[in-house]
Amino acid sequence: MSAEARTEQTRAAILRAACEVIAETGFEKVRMRMVAERAGVSTAALHYHFATREKLFLEALRFSYDTTGSAEGKADPPAEAPQTWLLARAIDDCLPGDTELRRDFLLWQELHLRAVRDPDSRTVARDLYANLRDWIAGIVRDGQSAGEFGPCDVGRFADLVIALTDGYGARILLGASALTLDDARDQIWAVVAPQLGVHTPIPAAGTRTAAV
Number of domains present in the structure of the chain: 2
Cβ-count burial 130-150 (b if 16+ within 10 Å, e if not): eebbeebbebbeebbeeebbe
pTM attached to this predicted model: 0.87
CATH number of residue 189's parent domain:
1.10.357
Residues 53 and 77 in one domain: no
Let me know if residue 205 belongs to a domain: no
Cα torsion angle, 36, 39, 41, 45, sign: negative
Residues 129 and 29 in one domain: no
Structural domain for 108, as ranges: 70-196
User: Which candidate, 140, 178, 179, places its Cα nearest to that of 162?
Assistant: 140
How confident is the model at residue 79, as a pLDDT? 80
CATH number of residue 44's parent domain:
1.10.10.60
Is residue 84 predicted with pLDDT exceeding 90? yes
The pLDDT tens digits for 126-184 are 999 999 999 999 999 999 999 999 999 999 999 999 999 999 999 999 886 789 999 99
SS3 171: helix
Length of the chain: 212
Let me know if residue 24 belongs to a domain: yes
How confident is the model at residue 206, as a pLDDT? 57
The pLDDT tens digits for 192-205 are 999 999 999 999 87
Amino acid in position 72:
E
**Helix 82-93 vs helix 154-174: crossing angle, to nearest 10:** 40
